[in-house]
Amino acid sequence: MIEEEGISTISMGNEPERMARIKPPRALQVKFGRGSMFGEPGNVSRQRRILLDAFDALQTITEPGEIRKLPYQWKRPDRPDMTDYQ
Amino acid sequence: MPIDLEQFKTAYEKWVEESMSDFQAGKMVEILKKYPSIIPGDIPWMPYTGKPSEQTFALITSAGLYLKDSQPAFDTLSIHGDPSIREIPKDVQQEEIGIVHGHYDHSLVEQDINIIFPIHRLMELENDGIIGKTADTHYSCSYVNNVAPLATEAVPKMISGIKAEEVDVVLLVPV
């Protein structure tokens, strides 16, 4: 609904199946668990890096529906599962 | 292409009827398997133009964030979820944020809201001149199954606010 109003969006995601259903216009896919799309708490440089990646994707994705995968790994023992619905 | 809410409402009413006992038993994965997701036929697309360094950015998350001292919490007891949205100001501090969402582990966000709502990183990028401006107002919803009132009431109000602030780009962060 936001793009239909003339505003570009970029979406975060971590589950390919869910992203395929939602069909975001442009998206970044991360390897982090549910509730932590920008990585570990307190990892300022990682959070900043992912935002910069989002701005890059915004400027370089030209086809609707492209999902760009980011390589970053969770670096603590407390990574949540991808789908830990409670 | 506008989403077909009438078709959703019919399928949703049937889903609520069939899922209530599983919902009451806490079988979330089971009921989500049967949920009548709205799958867009066409991908909505607004070509991006301009430069981030000259533009205004806003965040929308579904993490269930609200301002503890001034806003009501979200409803987490109903099978419908909560179709309302909270406005979060850009100068929000970690300790002002409450989190109400029945279906993910909040403990990491309680340590650092920026892992799902990177507002402080956006402010830093604004200070560094990488983006033009962080919008004054950002938005959070929570867990919601009945998306009809979200689509007809809360989202249009939110879009009005976004347009009033002349936001150029929205970053969407689900949980």
Residue B148: both structure tokens together: 């009809």
Tens digit of each residue's pLDDT (9 = 90 or more) over A31-84? 999 999 999 999 999 999 999 999 999 999 999 999 999 999 998 877 777 665
A82 touches chain B (CB under 8 A): no
Strand partners, B57: B134, B169
The answer to pTM > 0.90 is: yes
Instruction: Give the whole-angstrom CA distance, residue B147 versus residue B171.
Output: 20
How many angstroms away from the CA of A52 is the closest CA of chain B? 9
Minimal CA–CA distance to B59: which of B174, B161, B173, B163?
B173
**Minimum Cα–Cα distance from B143: chain A residue:** A85
How would you write A29-82 as a 3-class SS string? ECCCCCCCCCCCCCCHHHHHHHHHHHHHHHHHCCCCCEEEECCCCCCCCCCCCC
**Angstroms from A19 CA to nearest CA on chain B:** 10
Alpha-carbon gap, residue A60 to A14, rounded angstroms = 21
Say how far apart CA A52 and CA B144 lie, in whole Å.
30
Phi, psi of A35 (to 5 degrees): 85, 10
Two structure tokens written together for A51: 């935002």
Q: What is B24-57 written as a DSSP string?
A: HTT-HHHHHHT------SS-------S-GGGSEE
- pLDDT tens for chain B, 175 residues long, are 467 888 899 999 999 999 999 999 988 888 988 999 888 778 989 999 999 999 999 999 999 999 999 999 999 899 999 999 999 999 999 999 999 998 888 999 999 999 999 999 999 999 999 999 999 999 999 999 999 999 999 999 999 999 999 999 999 999 9
Give me the pLDDT at residue B32, please.
87
Better pLDDT: A30 or A82? A30
* Contact assessment for residue A41 and residue B111, using Cβ atoms and an 8 Å cutoff: yes
DSSP assigned state of B71: S
Residue of A nearest to B25 (CA): A86
The CA distance from A23 to A25, in Å, is 6
Distances (CA, A) of B35 to B26, B93, B173: 15, 35, 21
Supply the pLDDT for residue A86: 55
DSSP designation for B131: S
CA of B18 to nearest chain A CA: how many angstroms apart?
Answer: 19
Verify whether the Cβ–Cβ distance B174 to A41 is below 8 Å: no
- Nearest CA among A55, A36, A9 for reference residue B175: A36
Give the per-residue pLDDT at A63.
93
Among partner residues A10, A13, A84, which is closest to B174 by beta-carbon distance? A13
Going by their DSSP bridges, the two strands B56-61 and B169-173 should be labelled as parallel
- ipTM value > 0.90: yes
